[in-house]
Amino acid sequence: MVIVDGKNLAREVLDDLKPFFAVRKTALAVISVGDNPASSSFIKEKSRVAGVLGIEFLHFNFTSDVSNKFLRAKIGEIVRRDFIKGVIIQLPLPKKFNVQYLLNAIPVEKDPDLLNERSFGAFLTGRFKIIPPAAEVVKIILEKYGINPQGKVCAVFGAGRLVGLTVANWLTQEKATVFIINEFTKQPEKIAKKADILISGVGEPGLITKKMIKKGAVVIDFGYGLKNGKIKGDVDFEKVKKRSSLITPTPGGTGPLLVAALFQNLRDLMNKEKE
Amino acid sequence: MVIVDGKNLAREVLDDLKPFFAVRKTALAVISVGDNPASSSFIKEKSRVAGVLGIEFLHFNFTSDVSNKFLRAKIGEIVRRDFIKGVIIQLPLPKKFNVQYLLNAIPVEKDPDLLNERSFGAFLTGRFKIIPPAAEVVKIILEKYGINPQGKVCAVFGAGRLVGLTVANWLTQEKATVFIINEFTKQPEKIAKKADILISGVGEPGLITKKMIKKGAVVIDFGYGLKNGKIKGDVDFEKVKKRSSLITPTPGGTGPLLVAALFQNLRDLMNKEKE
């Protein structure tokens, strides 16, 4: 049984990116609103990795009393600066904002998260060379361990924009048999137990139990929540690992890889620009 | 057991649209290339329905020796005309064309098929009020018979852009448990047999057999192919109907509804424009 070392795998991805960024003046902008502690820690990690790659990291933080219109105008100003090659809006934003409208202000060529709906549409029609970070993370892990999703049964828990919806659509493109499971699914354990590959992106610690796992399954966990003050994934890791052939821990699994995938996309966008 | 009368249901949808188009000068443009006989018959049906609604129908047919660039320029000219409220590119196009690039030339507000990748992305993020015709057809049928897909197991055969991918994503938004099945799926009959709702959009007559059907399932067939010179759906209709609670025939099932959904989208786009 393999426990994926996300930190180490992320380092390999980043090592590949270093030569590219070493010779190009690059800035990445992150836009955030308010002071969500989880967001702060994610931003800190992105800032750290930018430093490793020699990328200038610009963090624009707005107080949560700014208006949707004001924020849209500010994003417009930021994306227009030539030296800024990528722009990220750190989600979630406070509820009052029209999130997709704001995300659409990031032009496709500066959108490493693929959150503009045009970027997302291009991904879904299979026309875009880069894929959203969560899908890229699944791809990195499967490729690393020589697993081809074609013809495999893949159960995806959750259908959120960032993880479930994205990963389910990517697996569909890769010709997997995909089961999309949500909170209304009856007997999810029976469905999940058919899966060769199980992916969870719900944010509910303990959701994925041992009895849901087919012996030898691959388990990739994007969930992120607190339980008894500790960061936990969706997967009941200690028990589930005994039945799986490969599993990601949380923390230290998909988290570092998501950040690495973001910077990989930034490179690929910049490369595309040169074409 | 109900056999869905697609023609009749389409007529109901169109009757609802008549008052809207009666008082608005509207033109719909259809662009086609070459002389695919199936395309010709679909175009003819769209033309007929446009006539019923009092919509001017403009058919632009190009010979298959035109270049991608030429066709793109022509589409650009067509979409810019104010009195043309909707533009359709009749698929499939000959292989040499860059189909998505051409589809992206249709602006979102004149794209009743939602084939521009921006329209499709907006649908997928759940932000768009209109949904692609195939999803709309499923919605019309389920609503007509009071079936709520939430929590239901839905098996979708095929993941093509026009039907499978679209319907699977819509069902996911509606909180169904979705199984996406393709040509690499092992024992598809075992998976399909769990489904309360089965949808097929492959184009392979006889693909869906009786042994794949759970007793009482809803079966919606978008497949379209020739067998012994006759138009057939994917579903082995005569046998499957005995196990299902509701089924669409082919022809006369989803076909007329797809055309009706297209005109419904045209109205909704024009309505949106007025907002």
**Do residue B251 and residue B140 come from a single domain?**
yes
Cβ within 8 Å, pair B124-A121: yes
- The share of chain B scoring above pLDDT 70, in percent, equals 99
- End of a domain among A93, A109, A125? A109
Task: Indicate the average pLDDT of chain A.
Answer: 96
Residues B137 and B232 in one domain: yes
Q: Are A219 and A248 in contact (CB under 8 A)?
A: yes
Residues B146 and B226 in one domain: yes
Mean pLDDT of A247-269: 97
> Looking at beta carbons, which residues of chain B come within 8 Å of A153?
186
Please tell me which residue, B41 or B175, carries the higher pLDDT value: B175
Inspect the interface and report whether the beta carbons of A184 and B177 lie closer than 8 Å: yes
Question: E strand or H helix at B244, and its extent?
Answer: strand B244-247
CA–CA min distance A104, chain B (Å): 10
Residues contacting A138, CB < 8 A, separation 6+: A167, A170, A171, A199, A220
Cβ neighbors of A146 (< 8 A, separation 6 or more) are none
Q: Do the domain assignments include residue A15?
A: no
Structural domain contains residue A103: yes
E strands, chain A, are: 2-3, 27-33, 56-62, 84-89, 153-157, 177-181, 197-200, 218-221, 225-227, 230-232, 246-247
Output the pLDDT for position A60. 97
Residue A174 lies in a domain: yes
B145 neighbors B216 (Cβ within 8 angstroms): no
**Who among A122, A175, A186 is closest to B151 (CB)?**
A186
Considering the domain boundaries, does residue A117 fall inside one? no
Confidence of residue A54 (pLDDT cuts 50, 70, 90): very high
Nearest to A185 among B117, B168, B177 (CB): B177
Counting every residue written for chain B, the total comes to 275
CA distance A72 to chain B (A): 17
Burial class from Cβ neighbours inside 10 Å (0-12, 13-18, 19+) for residue A242 reads exposed
> Does residue A89 share a domain with residue A35?
yes
Output the CA angle B131-B133-B134, nearest 5 degrees: 105
Say how many domains are in chain B.
2
**B102 and B162, same structural domain?**
no
| pLDDT at A261 > cutoff 70 | yes
More confident of the two residues B273 and A94 = A94
- For residue B183, the chain A residues in CB contact (below 8 A) are 175
Q: Are residues A243 and A141 in the same domain?
A: yes
Instruction: Work out the angle at residue A106's Cα, subtended by the Cα atoms of residues A85 and A72, and round it to the nearest 5 degrees.
Output: 125
- Domain of B78, CATH number, reads 3.40.50.10860
Q: What are the pLDDT digits (tens) for A75-122?
A: 999 999 999 999 999 999 999 999 999 999 999 999 999 999 999 999
- Predicted TM-score (pTM) of this structure: 0.95
CATH of the domain at B239: 3.40.50.720
CA distances from B164 to B37, B97, B170 (A): 23, 23, 10
- Average of pLDDT values for B100-114? 97
| B170 or A125: which leads in pLDDT | B170
A96 is in which domain, residue-wise?
A: 23-109
Query: Is A5 a domain residue?
Result: no
> Is pLDDT above 70 for A44?
yes
**Pair (B104, B153) in one structural domain:** no
Same domain, B80 and B147: no
Q: What is the ipTM metric for this complex?
A: 0.93
Q: Which of A98, A124, A171, A175 to mutate to test the interface with B (most CBs of B within 10 A)?
A: A124
pLDDT score for B164: 98
A-B contacts at Cβ under 8 angstroms: 101
Residues B234, B182 within the same domain: yes
Residue A50 lies in a domain: yes
Answer whether residue A269 is part of any domain: no
Q: b/e for A50-78, b at 16 or more Cβ within 10 A?
A: beebebebbbbeeeeebeeeebeebbeeb
Provide the shortest C-alpha distance from residue A12 to chain B (in Å).
32
